[in-house]
Each structure stands twice: as C-alpha cells, then as structure tokens.
Chain A
C-alpha cells in the first residue's frame, strides 16, 4: 500500500467501533486512510443490543453486524482475539497482547464498558457470571444446565432482560435489587411497583431493598446469598448486572484525562485530551456523563468520522437523549426526558390503573403547554407519540391528561404526523429523521414498510418507532397522490374482481396454475385464502383436497373457528334456528362427552367451544351420525338464515317465515364468498328476525315477500335497501341467486355486501337493472353458476370424516398422539373456560417442558 496514506487504528471492534469503520468507508476514506482495528473478543462486531436473543433462537452468526466480505473487500485489517495493551503517545504506537505493534496517525478508543461486580465477599465464586458478551452467555447457558435456581443481582434495564433470559433457560429466577424499586434510574416508586407486579407475573421473583453481604459456597459450589437484613436466598448461580463501568484502562495508562469516576473525557468533536486520540461509545465521558446506550455511541461515531475526514459539514456531539424502552416481550416500560420532574417549575401528573396494571406519568412545564418527560409502565403504546411531542417541543392539547386517558374519540390530533418538522427524529436507535424518511420514500419510490426499513434502517433497532415510520409512509404516499393500488397483494398485479374473471374465463382450477399464469412468487396469507375462496365459489371442490388445503386460513383448514388458546369452536348448522328436542339433546351429549363449553350464539345456533384439534373429527363423527351438518361458522361463506316463528304460531304472521328461512339456508349453505353472508326472514313487518340488518333479508307481506339487500350489523351497522316487493317464492329465489353471484364476482376481498354496494357506481338503480331487468344479459349465467353450486354441495365435515386421508391432518403432533400439553382451564358457572395467564402460572407449576415455549 502506498505510504502516502494515513493510518487509523480503532481499538475495540464492538458496536460503535464497527459503525465508525462503516462510516469511514461510506464517507470515502479508503483512498486516504489505512484502517486497522483490534478486536479483543474471538469474533467481529455483533449486535449486543439483541444479545438475549442468543438464548432464544439466534446464533452468533445471526447476530453479526459485519456484512460478509466487508473487511476483506475494503482492505480493512482486523486482529481478531487480540487486545491492545499499551499506547505510546509520543511514538504514536500501540502494542497488542500478541505482540503486534502499529504506528498510528490517529487512534480511536472504542473499548466499551465492563459490567460492574459489587464488592461482596465471594463474588468470584464458581457459579457467578456477568452478562455482556456471547462468551458470557455461553458460560451461563452451560452452567444453567446443571442448575435449578438463578439470581440476577441488579433490577435495572439489563438485569431484567437477563432475568427473562434465565427464565427462558428454565431456571427458577430471582432478581435482587439494592434500591427500594426496580429500574430505579428510570422509574419512580409507583411505576416501579406496577413493574414489579408485571415481572412477578412472568414468574420471576423480585426482592427489592436487599443488600447482599455475603455469597456462600459449599463444597466448591455456590449455595446461597446472605442479606444485610439477616435473610438469605438459596441459589445455584448468580449473574451480576449492577451497572457498567467504562473501559478506560488504556487511557489511564497513557495519561489521558479521565473523569473522577472514570471514563475518557471527550469534547464536542469526540477528541480526548490528546487531539490525535478520539474516544467513542461507552468508554467516552462527555460533560461528566457516560452514555450506556447504542444510539449516542452511533452519534459519536458519526461525529468522529466527520472530524477525522475534516468534512466541512462536520457535526458536533452535544449529548444525547437517554429515553429508554424495555424490550421484554409482554412487559411495556418506557421512560423519557425529565422523568423525575427536576426542571424548575415542572409539574407531574400520573394515572394508575391497578386493574389493568398500568402506570402513566407525564412531566410538563409550568404552564402545562409543553411535555418534558414521562414514565409508562404496563402500556407504552403512546411512547413514540409522546417522545415526538417532547423532542419537538410541540404545544400540548388543552389538558395534558387527555394524552394519558384518551377521551372517547381520539387524541391523535395532538400529534398529526404532518405537524412534525422534517428535523424530527423518528427513529432514535438509528438517528433517522422524518425528512430522511420522506426523502427515501420520494427518491426511491418506496411504497411499503419493509423496504423503507431496509433502506433507511429506521425501525430496525428496538422497533419502538415502527408505528410512526408507518404513519410517515402512509401520509407521504397519500400526499404524493400515489394511487394506493387495488392489487390483491405483491403476488398478483390484479384486483380480486379481475382475477376472478381470469380464473373463470381460463377455467383455472388451482392456485398453482393461477400463480403460474398470472402471478409471481409463492403467494401469501392474503392471496391464498382469497383465491381459495374464489376457487370454492366457482368450482366447489372440497377445501381440504390436496391442492387447496394449504390455501385455507386456519379456520377453513380445520373447518372450525380458532380460539384464543389455539383450540376450536364447533357450530353445527341449525337451519332457520329450528331444532328438534332430540337434536338439542344430542348436542348436549356431545358437549358433555368432550367437555366443551356451550353457548347460544347471536345467530340462533349453538356454539361448542374448547375442542382440541384432534377432537374435531371425533366430535364431528358424532354430530354427522346424529344428522348435523357443518355450519360454516369458520368460512367466508353463508352463515345463517335467521327466522322468526312466522304465521305457523305467531298471531301476527302473514307468511311462513320459518319454512322459507330453512329452504334458503339449505339452498345457499356452503356458498363461499368475498366475506361472510348472513340472511334472515321475518314473518311480518314487526321484523323479529332483523332482516333489514342482513346481506339479504326477506320480510313477508300479505302478497308475498319483500327483498332487502346489502344490510349489515356488526362494526358499522347499515340498513338494507329494498330491492323488490311482493315477490312470489320462485322470483324471489331467482333474484337472490343473481344478486349473490354478481356480488361474489365483483366484490373486493373481505368486502361485505354493504361496503360493496356503497362503492357500486349507479347504486340501487344499477343494481335493479342488473338483477331485475338483466341489463347486462348475464342473468342466466348467474343463475346457472348458483345452480351448479347447489348441485355440487356436500357437507365438508361429512366428506372429511369419511376420508382417512383428511382425518390424518387433525392431530396436534405429526409424530405422536399426545395432546397439546399447554392448554389449561378453570371452571366458571359450571363450565370450563381458558385459564388466564395468572391462573396458568399456578396451574403449570405441576407440569413442565412442553407448556413453556422452546428456548
């Protein structure tokens, strides 16, 4: 290499040291600089922030931060497993433990920090660990295999993360905290208390205000910890997580200026007291502060690289935001800004909801117009929004309380993404501003979140900013008038309607064929069920036949509705809601036999809940024997045709609504459609069956039947509209046939008839022309398609229990007949119901292994 180049040595190849090298390369340093780094650990830089995932499912290779070939391709020299032991500032030379000596022009210290181990007697016993490197984790994992109990000393951010990790290794886990509460730096007493409950809910025992005085070993093995209050705790292993200390030993050795309690002093350019030496990351001390988070370290790397390259636009380091969000699954904690209201005049307001287990506190300035900081425990969804309000010093709504307790409507008005300035930092982990996101969206024509994340790095750290990143994307796309296209998904450049047409015209009978002719890729959870439904409504083949089975949503795939605990519900068809006493008894017997929770549904039938996947075919075998059929409660298909008793019994009834409802339900049963279809028949204008709230509803008149269509209950109720009056039964059925097939052919995916109608150009008049006048000349075709459906209908469950091959799929395990051991129930009002999480903890103490997630 030509000697004209300068040499930069980076001591430490951790997160920040590596970022510096990346930035140097990106900023074009290679033609003027030789880059060399020393890496004490046996592997190049890896993602320490996600270190705990090493226990879950990440390998060391997954965690690496170094793109394959990055160092080789850029000619960067890396000494793996070699530590710098001495700096000679006069000669400008460094010396490594392996005896390598290098002369530098500039030196960067990126040596990070080390875990502080409190000076307790016995703190170096076998069985004590720290939590910082992959090697530490390997050691912990090995030792945990022969341990039952583990204690984490330190209830801060890292300590809790570590406790969660020990828990996942199957240890009985305790956290011992010296302070009277958890996360004492970030949380106040009330917040700490709620967090403690949450953490204990995870099965980790928390001991606060505990001063450890002695760590006792017996026969060379760790046995217990003694506390100042004379209590003790038996344990097999201890992990110290009681804070970090900067690794400043090299700086100390060569006489650089250090802080009183350690840390290499730096200025706004990240230069130490020797201008040829920089310090960045956790070893650096700026204005008496160490920054124990990765984002400030990355900022320092930005500043130092600018400065090393003498860029005219060089940025300065002026401190950093230390807002934090705990990234434990299931425990939301966030703390930001002036969380303890130390600013003069600051006021705090807090809301504790002991029932929901949440604590939210806001700190505002004297007149309550600006947000200064806050604490969120139990529910940190507002974190991103609040952080933006604080960082951009935006005016708060009239009462800050409304930020914590959203009024019945929405409080988002206070933070419309459009009100944010371009300089607003959206992602603090990777320092990405709103302006940068907008630029990427515009310049690279980005239209989806994953690409935006990849291009800008936003959202790839703690993930806390993802909702905001998404908002920016949506708002920008809308502004630039990007037509949010109606393509089904990335695999098919067509709307559902276009695709349905292609499928019928081309007589395409499988997803694979449709994909090969009109799509790309493998498909996804959006196009597969949609195409599955189109195939079913066109050709009516059994949804569990081999080419179709993989297309079905889990409900269709198992012909039952999945419930929150992974079991299923069984809803047999009860046409028109009419049922014989014998059948009612039979339902009760099946429920009793299989111990199912039983409930009358809102649509005149009976739901049997809590069926395990392997029980489904057995239950259905019994039901089919007693004459029941699938109720399709699981499918985007016809559900029920509700009825009232009508003229047979009711003193006001003018027609036999029950018989008609049963006839219609049997005609359209099994019909798959863009969304579910519901119907009802009322025997008179009193409308007891609520027909005007249905996709198609019929009301009896003196002269026949009135047909209403496109009504909806549910989320956005809409009255049905009157399509035709005083029809005889044959005409009525003809119109309904046409209406349903026309809807099935033209609606978008997951569009109920009401929404479909609201978008229909020409509205009611047009619909009347197509259905009644046959203006498009397709009425015969529509009727024929419905007749084909009626002729080919088969009960899906009957066909399933008659096929050994299909039955084979209904097992929890493919390789054993065991049942899912994670299910747990308690009794309530004489029936079972799924145990809550708290109840499961108690119930599970007697079980083990399979009931907790794999680690």
Chain B
C-alpha cells in the first residue's frame, strides 16, 4: 500500500489575521508583516481567493513581490516580480522562468471577510 507520507497536519497551522479582504484591490497584492517576516498577499479577481508568498524578490534582492502584476501562464496563477519581471507560481513559489529558484509560500485564507495567514508552516520542525 502506497500513500504519500505527509509531514504537515492541517490542524497545526496557527492563523494570523492580517487585514480586511477589501484592503486588497482585486488582482493586486499587499505586503504584510507576519512575525519577523514580510509576506506578500495576492487576491484573485473580486473573489476571496488569496495566496501568500515571501515578499523578498531573490533576483533584485528587494522586498517588493507584493507590487508585482498577478495573472496566469497557461492557467497557472503567477505573479511577475516588479523589478526584473520574472514570474513565480502563486501556489508553489516556484520561479517559472528559472527552475532553480523558488520563493517561500504561506497558507492563506479568508474568514469572515478577514484575510489570514498561516504562520506555523515555517516554524514547524
């Protein structure tokens, strides 16, 4: 019997409330301070579909990811880093233009019109 061995248990995530969903204009991003990290949060369309990645852009070495343009490549949701325009997949953080590079991703959700980020993913041991 083969099963994927998962190392995360869904319930262990601790959620931090960041802002109202309205604070993120449709199809844009905002940057949030979560603990000691800068987290870019993106909203897809008018919906409550949100994704979170690290705000650090490894190519320009600046904290600007939240200011990128969101969109898709062949249906894969992504954000283009604003300074040198490299694309990162929103769901995985993988750089679509350079497979050796990834940025961190964080669990994100909307509860009662409030955007929340899962903070435990990176402190999990």
Residue of B nearest to A523 (CB): B71
User: Taking the nearest CB of chain A, how far is it from the CB of B89, in angstroms?
Assistant: 11
Residues of chain B lying within 8 A (CB to CB) of residue A558:
67
Determine whether the beta carbon of A490 is less than 8 Å from that of B122: no
B108 contacts chain A at the CB level, 8 A cutoff: no
User: Taking the nearest CB of chain B, how far is it from the CB of A256, in angstroms?
Assistant: 29
One of B63, B98, B122 near A822 (C-beta < 8 A): B63
B110 contacts chain A at the CB level, 8 A cutoff: no
Q: How many angstroms between the C-alpha atoms of A809 and B23 in the bound complex?
A: 8
Residue of B nearest to A820 (CB): B63
Q: How many angstroms between the C-alpha atoms of A40 and B45 in the bound complex?
A: 46
User: Taking the nearest CB of chain A, how far is it from the CB of B109, in angstroms?
Assistant: 16
One of A43, A64, A546 near B25 (C-beta < 8 A): A546
Q: How many angstroms between the C-alpha atoms of A461 and B98 in the bound complex?
A: 10
Contact A550 to B63, CB < 8 A, known contacts A329-B101, A853-B58, A854-B56: no
Q: How many angstroms between the C-alpha atoms of A550 and B39 in the bound complex?
A: 18
Determine whether the beta carbon of A53 is less than 8 Å from that of B68: no
Residues of chain B lying within 8 A (CB to CB) of residue A58:
102
**Most chain A C-beta atoms within 10 Å of own C-beta, residue among B33, B39, B41, B75:** B33
Q: How many angstroms between the C-alpha atoms of A569 and B93 in the bound complex?
A: 29
Q: How many angstroms between the C-alpha atoms of A235 and B104 in the bound complex?
A: 28
Determine whether the beta carbon of B5 is less than 8 Å from that of A521: no
CB within 8 Å of A: which B59-82 residues: 60-64, 67-75, 77-78, 80, 82
Contact A554 to B64, CB < 8 A, known contacts A460-B99, A814-B41, A854-B38: yes
The total number of A-B Cβ pairs within 8 Å is 176
Determine whether the beta carbon of B5 is less than 8 Å from that of A522: no
Contact A57 to B93, CB < 8 A, known contacts A68-B4, A546-B25: yes
Q: How many angstroms between the C-alpha atoms of A537 and B9 in the bound complex?
A: 52
Contact A462 to B100, CB < 8 A, known contacts A72-B2, A815-B32, A854-B122: yes
Contact A466 to B62, CB < 8 A, known contacts A44-B2, A56-B104, A490-B74: no
Residues of chain A lying within 8 A (CB to CB) of residue B31:
812-814
User: Taking the nearest CB of chain A, how far is it from the CB of B11, in angstroms?
Assistant: 16
One of A460, A550, A566 near B64 (C-beta < 8 A): A566
Contact A64 to B4, CB < 8 A, known contacts A56-B104, A522-B44, A529-B69: yes
Contact A565 to B62, CB < 8 A, known contacts A450-B74, A814-B19: yes
Determine whether the beta carbon of B27 is less than 8 Å from that of A815: no
A contact face: mostly helix, strand, loop, or mixed = loop
Q: How many angstroms between the C-alpha atoms of A451 and B73 in the bound complex?
A: 11
Determine whether the beta carbon of A564 is less than 8 Å from that of B83: yes
User: Taking the nearest CB of chain B, how far is it from the CB of A819, in angstroms?
Assistant: 11
User: Taking the nearest CB of chain B, how far is it from the CB of A55, in angstroms?
Assistant: 10
**Most chain B C-beta atoms within 10 Å of own C-beta, residue among A64, A459, A564, A850:** A850
Contact with A along B86-116 (1 / 0, CB 8 A): 0100001100101111111100000000000
Determine whether the beta carbon of A490 is less than 8 Å from that of B67: no
Q: How many angstroms between the C-alpha atoms of A685 and B37 in the bound complex?
A: 59
Contact A57 to B99, CB < 8 A, known contacts A854-B38, A854-B122: no
Determine whether the beta carbon of A554 is less than 8 Å from that of B102: no
Q: How many angstroms between the C-alpha atoms of A64 and B7 in the bound complex?
A: 12
Contact with B along A62-105 (1 / 0, CB 8 A): 10101010011000101010000000000000000000000000
Residue of B nearest to A524 (CB): B71
A260 contacts chain B at the CB level, 8 A cutoff: no
**Most chain B C-beta atoms within 10 Å of own C-beta, residue among A138, A453, A524, A529:** A524
Contact A809 to B64, CB < 8 A, known contacts A459-B99, A522-B70, A815-B33: no
Residues of chain B lying within 8 A (CB to CB) of residue A466:
98-99
Q: Taking beta carbons and an 8 Å cutoff, which residues of A are in contact with B? A: 42-44, 53, 56-62, 64, 66, 68, 71-72, 76, 78, 80, 134, 138, 141-142, 145, 327, 329, 450-451, 453, 459-463, 466, 490-491, 521-525, 527-529, 546, 549-554, 557-558, 562, 564-566, 808-809, 812-816, 818, 820, 822, 837, 848-850, 853-855
Given contacts A490-B74, A854-B38, 20 further A-B contacts (CB under 8 A): A57-B103, A60-B5, A138-B125, A141-B125, A466-B99, A524-B80, A525-B80, A525-B87, A528-B69, A554-B67, A554-B69, A554-B82, A554-B83, A564-B60, A564-B83, A566-B83, A814-B24, A814-B32, A815-B19, A853-B56
**What would 13 A/B residue contacts be, using CB atoms closer than 8 Å?**
A60-B5, A61-B7, A78-B2, A450-B73, A461-B99, A521-B72, A522-B71, A523-B72, A524-B71, A558-B67, A566-B83, A853-B54, A854-B38
